[in-house]
Structure 1
Amino acid sequence: MTNSLASDLCRLVAFGLLAVASPTSAQQVERKVGSIAHLPALAGDYFALSSEKVGRTFHIYVRLPEGYESNPKQSYPVVYLLDGDSTFPMLAPLHLFMHYDDQMPEAIIVGIAYGGFKPGVNMRHIDFRMASDEGKPGGAPQFLSMLEGELIPRIEGRFRTDPARRIIVGQSRGGSAVLQAAWLKPGLFWGHIASNPGREPDTKLLFGMDLPPPNMQRDGYLIVTSGSRDRDYLRGTALAWRDRIASRDDFPWDTRFVDIPGGTHAADLGNAYRAAMRIMFDKAPAKGTKSQD
């Protein structure tokens, strides 16, 4: 083995050990050309999560709050983003700007990514559904078990989190998964944001919500946002959810419907996130308002 090759191997081993060490800031990780570490609005951590519950590996990106290292006694809300491949680079910097302009509390932002959009890599059509269009069982129960038993304990073991302020965010089919999480795992998350949620063939957006609600202490939020220019069939289902669910006060959550005037299916996720977070963190009208722009 040449001295040059040995030197290269040593550098690779050293970088690998650094990458799997205890949670660090971006400044403590070697900055490679083209690396995400050069983007301070996304600075934090990354790890691969090999899930036994689901049987696949997820890529977990973590944005740490500004000032995280200089405030060692402070804990933070945690926002879990479904479809993290696209939602993490979109919403993590937005949250920083909301902290500046809206006085929004800083938060730890966790993106749950597949690593690509291609079929066979991106499995949202399984993980976010109770049943397929053909009636076959979906993978939502396993995915929720992964969140509860594998990801959340790891995040809360590595970072200074506030377990009473866990939030889950999903867009489209991911929004449907947020509603499933609320109903199937009540109490796991304090805040639920479903942006232009997809609908299931049989249950639409209800997932049992027309049945007696869970016997729980009232706490947290369940928010559906809908763009006025969303696809007709999704917009209609969202409005039906507004009329049937949002005005009820017997759920364990404060249920809200947020209308996004002029909003389209995907491009207004940032507006939906901002509006919902402002409701949950003290920017809201009194309960009973069915829409909020």
Structure 2
Amino acid sequence: MAAFLAPIFTFSQTLYETINSEKLGEERQLKIQLPRNYEANTEKIYPVMIVLDGDYLFEPVAGNVDYYSYWEDAPEMIVVGINQYGSREYDAAYDEQNFLPSGDGAAFFEFLGMELMQYLDNKYRTTDFRVILGHDFTSNFINYYLFKPDPLFDGYINLSPDLAPQMTERITNSLAKSETKKWYYLATGSDDIAQLKEKILSFDNQLKTLDNKMVEYHFDNFENTTHYSLVGKAIPSALSSMFKVYSPISVKDYNEVLLQTSISPVEYLTDKYETINELFHVEKQIRLNDFMAIYNAIEKTRRWDDYHELSKMAENHYPGTMLATYFEARYEEETGNPRKAMRTYQKAYGQEKIAFLDTDFMLAKADAIKKDFGY
């Protein structure tokens, strides 16, 4: 009997769940997208993206998160959409005197902070890095979490917010005083609702004056977009700006930082991944392409001593492969130890090939040294 082997594909999973809220006195419908291979990676934990207006924003956000994480331009995340069809204005309600959540709005504020996040943390493997996203009424609402002494969310994605009175001053003051890392994204469009756009543009001018290294701020004013069509452009822009440090080393950073500044390429790589682990609470293996970028930078800048530390890092992240051996051999070769370099290249025999490195390549390098020096 013939055996048929089906190819294995991995897909993100979307679950539909109901949470019973004591704060709201009712049930709420949730859409939850788990990362690809969530079930297989049983030890891995994930940041969380909360999407208000989940009845229409969940799918575009979840799709973009899946796409960006597939190409490693953003970490894999658990995306949670809250269905607010018919309730969004009540959920986002605020007091007309102090302009803070009241009534149904206060209940919804507590539901998110005290019930939903606990539900997610108990049921799924979550990290402490959390992002929240909203549109007009709900975009205004997400900012109330900034006013808490220890804000629940690290990232705030504001899509054409319908800002309450005093909101811009309150947000600016909160961000100016933040002692922990915060990401703040704001977007409008050329054909956005006029009264919203005017206030958003003024708000942007305020935020541009922020002088706090703990805050990463990004603003977009998209051409030829309406209040609704701007969403399609804003979501990927927000992810791109928020997770810039997470992305692979870009051509721009390679040319302008690694080749044109005095920074050590290895120091740059170390700082990049320490920052990723610290900010997003994930243990990220150094990408092979990033190792290759640093290798090329060392060759261009002739900072041969950097190979010594790079070899240690390669051994840690890609043990059993030829990567660390090659970097060690290049170090010995360029620092005046050809015999030791030759022996190091020969040591690659039996190790696992990786990138452009294989047995034939490594032994050819050893033979070239042997021929040149007559060993």
> Does 2:127 match 1:157?
no
Q: CA deviation at 1:184?
A: 4.3
Q: 1:52 to 1:259 in 2, by over 3 A?
A: same
Structure 1 counterpart of 2:170: 208
Deviations 1:99-126 (A, max 9, x none): 3356322211101113xx3xxxx21112
Deviations 1:66-116 (A, max 9, x none): 1111211111111000011111122212322223356322211101113xx
User: Aligned equivalents of 1:223 and 1:66: distance in 2?
Assistant: 26
- Any idea what SS the aligned residue of 1:198 has? coil
Structure 2 counterpart of 1:78: 48
Q: Is the 8 A contact 2:145 2:151 kept in 1?
A: no
Q: What TM-score do you get using the length of structure 2 for normalisation?
A: 0.57
User: Aligned equivalents of 1:142 and 1:47: distance in 2?
Assistant: 20
- Any idea what SS the aligned residue of 2:241 has? helix
Structure 1 counterpart of 2:201: 239
1:52 to 22, 37, 53: 22
Q: CA deviation at 1:268?
A: 2.4
> Does 2:27 match 1:62?
no
2:187 to 225, 228, 246: 225
Q: Higher relative contact order at CA 8 Å, sep ≥6: structure 1 or structure 2?
A: 1
- Any idea what SS the aligned residue of 1:228 has? strand
User: Aligned equivalents of 2:59 and 2:199: distance in 1?
Assistant: 29
Structure 2 counterpart of 1:126: 90
- Any idea what SS the aligned residue of 2:80 has? strand
Task: Please identify, of 180-189 and 58-67, the stretch whose mean Cα deviation from structure 2 is larger.
Answer: 180-189
Q: List gaps (5 residues or longer) in structure 2.
A: 1-9, 253-375
Structure 2 counterpart of 1:111: 81
User: Aligned equivalents of 1:167 and 1:231: distance in 2?
Assistant: 25
Structure 2 counterpart of 1:30: none
User: Aligned equivalents of 1:148 and 1:280: distance in 2?
Assistant: 22
1:179 to 125, 128, 143: 143
Letter in 2 for 1:234: L
User: Aligned equivalents of 2:211 and 2:53: distance in 1?
Assistant: 30
Bigger radius of gyration = 2
Q: What TM-score do you get using the length of structure 1 for normalisation?
A: 0.71
Letter in 2 for 1:86: Y
User: Aligned equivalents of 2:56 and 2:89: distance in 1?
Assistant: 16
Q: Is the 8 A contact 1:246 1:257 kept in 2?
A: no
Deviations 1:132-191 (A, max 9, x none): 69x99453322121111100011011111111x100000111111122222347520011
Larger fraction in helix: 2
- Any idea what SS the aligned residue of 1:47 has? strand
Q: List gaps (5 residues or longer) in structure 1.
A: 1-39, 286-293
Structure 2 counterpart of 1:268: 230
